[in-house]
Structure 1
Amino acid sequence: MMKVAVIGCTHAGTAAIVNTAKLYPEAEITVYERNDNISFLSCGIALYVGGMVEDPQGLFYSSPQQLAELGVITKMRHEVISVDTTGKTLRARNLENGEELEDTFDKLIVTTGSWPVVPKFEGIGLDNILLSKNFNHSNTIIEKSKQANHIVVVGAGYIGVELVEAFQLNGKQVTLIDAEDRILSKYLDAEYTDKIEKSLQDHGIVLALGEKVVRFEGEGTVNKVVTDRGEYEADLVILCIGFRPNTVLLQGQVDMLDNGAIVVDEYMRTSTRDVYAAGDSCAIFYNPTGKAAYIPLATNAVRMGTLIARNLVAPTVKYMGTQGTSGIKIYEDNIAGTGLTEVAAKEAGIEAEAVMITDNYRPEFMPTHEEVMLKVVYEKGTRRILGAQIMSKVDLTQSINTISVCIQNSMKMEELAFVDFFFQPHYNKPWNFLNTAGLGALPEVPTIAKEGVLA
C-alpha cells in the first residue's frame, strides 16, 4: 500500500489530494494543515470584504469532511516541523495541545504555499496592521474595517487594488501606497495603469506611488503611516507587499530558486526522488521567456496539484508551463493580461515591439459599441507573440485566454492576423480585434529586385 503525505492544503494541496484519492483508492493519504480550514479561495477576499460575497462558505471548495469521505486522514491544526526526504519521515506538532508525532511516507507532496512578505518596518507590531492571505485574515479585516475610517493599503498588486476598491465602496477614506511609480506594474503597461489610476482617484482614493514606507506610528494602535515622502492618517493598515514561498522545511533537500521557490520538472517532481511539489511554494516554467519564474496564481496551483496525482506513480501527463494569465475588474473596467508586458520584455533582455489598438469592439451601427484597448507584445526578430493586455467596459477578457494559447504554441503575429475567428455583429467586427492587432505587425513584403520581374 502506497503511503502519501501531503503538507499544506489550499489550492494545490486540495487538487493533489482529491485527485490522488480518486486515482489510487488503495493509497493511505495523510494531510497536515496548520490552519483550521482548507481550500480557501484567497482571490475572493476583496469580494468578501466588500460585501459582494455574503456567505464565505462559497469561497471554500472543499472541507475536511469531504476529504474524510474520500478516505483521506486530515490532521488539521498540525504543523510539520521537520522533514527527512532521504529517510522518508516527517515530524508534526499538534497546535492544539503541543504534542508531536512522527510519520513515514512513500511519496511526499509539498503544497505549503506562500506567505505575505512583511518587511521589518519600525512600528510593525502596532495593533490594526493586518495581512491579507487566508480566511482568518479576511474575517479580521472585515471586523476591524467596520470601526475604521482611514484605511491604508500598502502594495498595489491585484489584492491591494481590489481591497482599496472594496473599502472605498464601503464608504472608507482610502490611501494606496506603493514603492513603484505605477500600480499593477507587474501586470500592465503604462497605457493601462494610467487610466486605472485616474479611475481610482476619481473615486476619491489617494495614491501615494513611488513612496517607500519608513515606519508606522501610534500609541498601541496604528494611527499614522510615514513614507519617505509623506505621512498618512490610518486607523487600519493592510499589508499586500507580495508573497514569498513557504519552503524552509525543505531547504537544502531539494533544488530551489534564490527566493526559495522549489524547482520542479514537467511532471511536478522535485530534484529528490518521490518528493513532489505544486502551487505557490514552487517555481513554474514561464513560456514567454522559456525560464523558471515565481508566479503565485491559483490557476497554476490547481493545474500543478492535479498533475501531481497523475504523475505520482509514473510520468504520465506533462505540465505545459504557464503564461501567467490573469484578470481583474476595477469599477467599470474589465482588464486581463497574459505573458510579458512591454516593460517586462525589455527587463528580460528581449527585443520586443508592440501593437496597440483602440477600436470599437463591434460595428458602430449596433446600439452600443464600447471601446476596447488591446496591446499585443511580440519579439522583433521572430514576431513571436510574447504577451497581451486588454481593457474595456464590456467584458472581453476571454480573448486574453485566446492569446495565452497563441503564446503557448509559439505563434507569430501574422498567424494571429489570419486565424479563423467568427463574425457576428452582436459580438465583433468582420476583423476581430485580435486579428486587427496581428494585421498591425505583418512582415514586410520583399521588394522587386530588378525591373521586368513582373513583365
Structure 2
Amino acid sequence: MKYIIIGGDAAGMSAAMQIVRANQDHDITVLERGEIYSYGQCGLPYAISGIVDEPEDVIAREVETFRNKYGIDAKINHEVTHVDSANKEVHGRVTSTGESFKFEYDKLLIASGASPVMPDWKGVDLGGVFHIKTIPDTKDILNYLDKDIQNVTIVGGGFVGLEMAENFGEIGKNVTIIQRGQQLMKPFDYDMAELIHKEANHQNVNIIFGESVKSFAGKHSVEKVITDQNEYPTDLVLLSIGINPNTQFVGDEFSIGEKNELIVDEYMKTNVKDVFAAGDCASQYHRIKEQNDYVPLGTHANKQGMVAGQNLLGKSVEFRGIVGTSILKFFDLDIGRTGLSEKEAQELSLDYDTVKITTRPVAGYYSDIEELTVKLVYEKTTKRLLGGQVIGNKGVDKRIDVLATALYHNMTTVQLLDLDLSYAPPFNGVWDPIQQAAKRTL
C-alpha cells in the first residue's frame, strides 16, 4: 500500500506514526513544502520574549528522525500544486530547484495546514512587516528586533495578536493593536471582552477600535501604518488577520467549505475515493452546533491526524467532534471559552439564556486577590448547557475543562451541581465558581 501525505506537521505526522506503529512493512511518502517537520506553532510567540529559548525548541521530531528511525520518506521543499484524483497522482515542484515531481498513491492524506492571510495593501512588502506561523517567520522577527525597534503595531486582536502583544510588551516594546471591529477576541461576547480591554489598558497596550488598515508607508522599512481614519508611526508591524486553509491545489471534485476547508466525515474521508484530510485544512464537526465548523487548533490537528492514520489502515475509527474549547494567556489574565457564545446561540436561533457571576477562584478567606468571571449559556426550557466563558487570574483552565467535559456529555446546568469537584481552600470554595453560576439558572 502506497501512502502519500501532504504536510509534515501535526496532522500529517500523527497519521504517519499510526501507520508506522501498526505495520512494519509500510510505504509512506510525506511531501512538506517547508524544511521543518512536527513543530509546535503555538509556542512561537513565546520565543519572542525568551520564555522559549530558541524557536527550534518547539520542534518535536527532526526530519532525520522520521527518515532514519521510522523509515518514512520525509521530503522537504516539495510543494504540491495539483491532486489528480482520477489517476491517483500528486503533482508539484521542488521549491529549492524548480524541478517538477509526480507521485502515485493508493491512499492520500491531505494535511497541508493553513497559511496566514496576506492582504494586498500597499507597502505590505516593506521591511518590518511580518506574520508569525513558522520557525523562519519567528527568526525573521527576532533578527529585526536587533534594530532600534520601540513601537510595534499589531493588526488584528485575536488569539495570536494578543499573545504577540504580551510577548512584545514583555521585552519593553510599545504595543498598539489596531482592530477593525469594536472588541478584541471576537469569539467572546462583548461583556466578557471588556475584561480583556481592561487588562490591555492596565498593561499599557494601546487599542484602536473601529479602524481598517489600508496601507503601510516607509522608504525601505515600514515607518507608518495608514488606516481609513488616521496614520500611526511604527517600527514593526505584525499581521494577525486570520488564516486560509491550504487547499488551492485540489480540484473541483472535492467538497469545500465556506472558508475553503476540505469537508470531511467522521472518518476524515473527503468525498473523493481514497482521499482523507485532517488538521487546519479540514473541517471539524461541532457537537453543540451539530454541523461542520472550522476551528483550526493544534489539539484538533493531532486528534484528526491520529484518526485519519488509523482509517488509512482500513479501520473505522471516528473523530467524535469538537465543542469549541480554547484558552489564552494575556499578561495577568487567563481567557477561556468552550461551546457556544451568546452571539452564536443567537445566530443558531436557539431559545437560550445566560448567567454571569464574578467570584473568587479559591476560598474567599484564603485569598481576596484573584477574581474569576464565569458566563454560562444554556437552553431556557431544558437547562442544557450550551457554552461557557471564563476569564480571571487563576483557575480558568480547570473550569473551562470541566465545562468542555460537561458539553461533550450533553449535561444540564442542574447536573453541574452534582459534580464532585475538588475542594480545598487554596484551590476552590465549597461551591466551585461554575456551580455558583449554575445555581442561578435554577
Shorter-chain TM band? over 0.9
Per the alignment, residue 52 of structure 2 pairs with 53
Per the alignment, residue 44 of structure 1 pairs with 43
- Deviant stretches of 4+, over 3 Å: none
| DSSP 3-state at the match of 2:354 | strand
Q: Is 2:174 the partner of 1:173?
A: yes
| DSSP 3-state at the match of 1:249 | coil
Residues 3, 29 of structure 2: 8 Å contact kept: yes
Residues 203, 331 of structure 2: 8 Å contact kept: no
Per the alignment, residue 256 of structure 2 pairs with 256
Give the 5 Å matches for 1:318-397.
318-367=318-367, 370-397=370-397
Matched residue type, 1:185: K
Identity %: 30
Give the TM-score normalised by structure 1.
0.93
The CA distance in 1 between the partners of 2:190 and 2:259, in whole Å, is 27
Per the alignment, residue 271 of structure 1 pairs with 271
Per the alignment, residue 283 of structure 2 pairs with 283
Per the alignment, residue 431 of structure 2 pairs with 431
Matched residue type, 2:265: D
Give the 5 Å matches for 1:41-440.
41-68=40-67, 69-147=69-147, 148-186=149-187, 188-367=188-367, 370-440=370-440
Q: How big is the shift at 1:328?
A: 0.9
Per the alignment, residue 446 of structure 1 pairs with none
| DSSP 3-state at the match of 1:248 | coil
Residues 326, 338 of structure 1: 8 Å contact kept: yes
Residues 58-105 of structure 1, C-alpha deviation per residue, up to 9 Å, x if partnerless? Answer: 211122112111110011111112211121111232222222222111
Matched residue type, 2:40: L
Q: How big is the shift at 1:297?
A: 0.7
Q: How big is the shift at 1:363?
A: 2.3
Per the alignment, residue 14 of structure 2 pairs with 15
The CA distance in 2 between the partners of 1:396 and 1:369, in whole Å, is 15
| DSSP 3-state at the match of 1:153 | strand
Q: How big is the shift at 1:132?
A: 1.2
Q: How big is the shift at 1:314?
A: 2.7
Residues 213-247 of structure 1, C-alpha deviation per residue, up to 9 Å, x if partnerless? Answer: 11111223221111122211112111100011110
| DSSP 3-state at the match of 1:391 | strand
Q: 1:25 to 1:141 in 2, by over 3 A?
A: same
Matched residue type, 2:182: D
Q: How big is the shift at 1:368?
A: 5.5
Gaps of 5+ in 1: 443-455
Matched residue type, 1:160: G
Give the TM-score normalised by structure 2.
0.96
The CA distance in 2 between the partners of 1:6 and 1:85, in whole Å, is 14
The CA distance in 2 between the partners of 1:212 and 1:300, in whole Å, is 31
| DSSP 3-state at the match of 1:222 | coil
| DSSP 3-state at the match of 2:308 | helix
Gaps of 5+ in 2: none
The CA distance in 1 between the partners of 2:127 and 2:369, in whole Å, is 49
The CA distance in 2 between the partners of 1:82 and 1:390, in whole Å, is 44
Matched residue type, 1:270: T
Q: 1:288 to 1:228 in 2, by over 3 A?
A: same
Residues 157, 177 of structure 2: 8 Å contact kept: yes
> For the aligned residues, what is the CA RMSD?
1.6
Larger gyration radius, structure 1 or structure 2: 1
Q: 1:172 to 1:425 in 2, by over 3 A?
A: closer
Q: How big is the shift at 1:353?
A: 1.4
The CA distance in 2 between the partners of 1:395 and 1:422, in whole Å, is 12
Farther off after superposition, 21-30 or 196-205: 196-205
